[in-house]
Structure 1
């Protein structure tokens, strides 16, 4: 990724060991997002960086987090600060200028195709993703966390939906939340809009709940454990398990049977057997 592809309000960095960080970087606005689907808007850049991680052979895990004391406070109704650039709205495939809709259906098209589907791309990236929820995740911020594979929280984590602007849980949240915590609990959240770190962990929304001072070291340790396992197994497991959310047992068994045959002939499978026989650590290459 070139320096020209980067923006200040969303940082992208890499560490040794296969870890990439995507950091929402507007701490003075509690990392509220900029824009919607403009080329430099927050969600667009998060997705761009995730695709860059997917294409980078040196990256094994990507962590999404926020600078300062918040994860993401949702939409920024104050608008961009001086010097912040979000770029241009693209023109729709039917020639509609979604930046200047002529009717309510144009607005719906703009929201769904230009924003909701962009957020949903997060769940479709190949490699493992972790949301390190270091503070409040409100509205779109909660959506971003729900689309990641794993969520790590601390005592400062707090989840809120769109109740403050009289809207329902959007952008995939109404799909993933009941599957993660159960229908009754998801509806309780929809009725109250209150979800503390302790409750989120008890309900299963957070995979791990750690002290804020230990979040980064805990996350790095988890990423190291992930990086030791065969990449192909992780990528295919992710695709099958996410597809299984909407599939039958029979369909899922067919997918796993097909995948097993593919993995058996991979270089990583052969390396695993050689390493086991030699009693050494395997070196996986995702091939």
Structure 2
């Protein structure tokens, strides 16, 4: 399916389902540049996915583009100054937050470069799979710009020293360095999208309630005090023990069969 879009332009983002996996594909030319219309379509797709209770994993990919996403369309900057927050910053931040708030695990499949705002999109996902020849970077300092959302998420992922180096230099790094630094989870010597689909299929077989709660706890470990995060852990574990999924998992274990989880 395609996301809803004004009649005066083709959808810049696609959405398809394959069982319990949803795929959001960027479809904005060879570079998939971030523009306001593209962000609008992306936000619509995210909203649709968040309304699908049976989705157990979401993949974000660059479609047929040469790049996963090469960053913002600089042409949009020409008339932005005092109204930049209203016209770009706050809206873009909302879309990235909405992407990060998808309850199911999310995977960014990077078959081409992910630069600037493109890497920010990938960093808003839980996992990242990269093609061995793909590159990435928060390159805004090369233009005198700032990767605001990306700076925060990257620092939480790799620590301040490595984040500072990437931000201060605008460095573009390869797949192996990205893996060594913990920016990506896996390198694929074939299609990153196919590798992401394999990973998503495995995630889809696990307890969906368990995975949604695990995502909440990992995020809480970064956002809350230790005591608050552990208190949330206790509450969510009780919810798990109250769930039908755990009963099904135990029954399947003793019957030596694969569990059939319903997500409740």
TM-score by length of 1: 0.82
Aligned mates of 1:108, 1:3 — CA distance in 2: 26
What is residue 83 of structure 1 aligned with on the other side? none
Decide which of 149, 157, 164 is 1:180's aligned counterpart: 157
**Is 1:146 aligned to residue 123 of structure 2?**
yes
Measured on the aligned residues, the alpha-carbon RMSD in Å equals 2.2
SS of residue matched to 1:135? coil
SS of residue matched to 1:56? coil
Aligned mates of 1:139, 1:31 — CA distance in 2: 12
Aligned mates of 1:60, 1:48 — CA distance in 2: 19
SS of residue matched to 1:167? coil
What is residue 32 of structure 1 aligned with on the other side? 33
What is residue 8 of structure 1 aligned with on the other side? 11
Q: Deviations over 1:54-110 (max 9, x none)?
A: 32244221111112321001122356xxxxxxxxxxxxxxxxxxxx99x83x54344
SS of residue matched to 1:71? coil
* Compared CA separation, residues 4 and 176, structure 1 to 2 (3 A): closer
Give the drift of 1:248.
2.1
Give the 5 Å matches for 1:1-287.
4=4, 7-16=10-19, 18-28=20-30, 30-35=31-36, 41-66=37-62, 67-78=64-75, 104=82, 106-161=83-138, 162-170=140-148, 172-194=149-171, 195-211=173-189, 213-287=190-264
Aligned mates of 1:47, 1:3 — CA distance in 2: 9
Aligned mates of 1:27, 1:187 — CA distance in 2: 31
Runs of 4+ in structure 1 displaced over 6 angstroms?
A: none
TM-score by length of 2: 0.88
Aligned mates of 1:68, 1:78 — CA distance in 2: 19
Give the drift of 1:5.
5.1
Give the drift of 1:260.
0.7
* Compared CA separation, residues 266 and 12, structure 1 to 2 (3 A): same
Contact 1:61 1:127 in 2 (8 A): yes
Count, aligned residues = 256
What is residue 86 of structure 1 aligned with on the other side? none
Contact 1:20 1:62 in 2 (8 A): yes
Aligned mates of 2:225, 2:130 — CA distance in 1: 32
Unaligned runs of 5+ in 2: none
Contact 1:50 1:62 in 2 (8 A): no
Give the drift of 1:113.
2.9
Moved more, 159-168 or 268-277: 159-168
* Compared CA separation, residues 186 and 231, structure 1 to 2 (3 A): same
Aligned mates of 1:216, 1:210 — CA distance in 2: 9
Aligned mates of 2:2, 2:24 — CA distance in 1: 15
